[in-house]
């Protein structure tokens, strides 16, 4: 549960308990990430498709700033991973 006071969110013990339970439950954690990605799904890189490239940016920059440029190390690691697993 979140409580707002003076336009700030105050986390209650109930919030922390629910958070701890969810992150320790693989199904709850997965549903949370899937819900976040579904909520913010958008074409972050402007190629006309919503795909892994966009979800990477949503993960890295958040749902409201995903059009930012990835640093080269992060982007190169992602591209290597995609190349490696696309061959399987």
Asked whether residue 3 carries a pLDDT value surpassing 80, the answer given is: no
- Confidence at residue 56, expressed as pLDDT on a 0 to 100 scale: 95
**Phi, psi angle pair for 5, to nearest 5°:** -145, 125
Q: Is 66 helix (H, G, I), strand (E, B) or coil?
A: coil
> Which element (helix H / strand E) includes 56?
helix 52-61
**Taking residues 46-73, what's their average pLDDT?**
94
DSSP letter at 10?
E
DSSP letter at 1?
-
**pLDDT tens digits, one per residue of 13-54:** 666 788 888 888 999 889 989 999 999 999 999 999 999 999
d(CA 45, CA 59): 13
């Amino acid at each position: 549960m979140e409580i707002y006071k003076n336009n700030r969110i105050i986390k209650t013990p109930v919030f922390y308990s629910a958070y701890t339970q969810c992150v320790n439950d693989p199904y709850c954690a997965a549903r949370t990430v899937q819900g976040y990605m579904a909520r913010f799904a958008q074409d972050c890189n402007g190629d006309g498709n919503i795909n892994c490239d966009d979800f990477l940016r949503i993960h890295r920059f958040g749902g409201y700033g995903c059009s930012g440029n990835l640093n080269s190390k992060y982007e190169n690691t992602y591209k290597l991973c995609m190349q490696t697993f696309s061959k399987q």
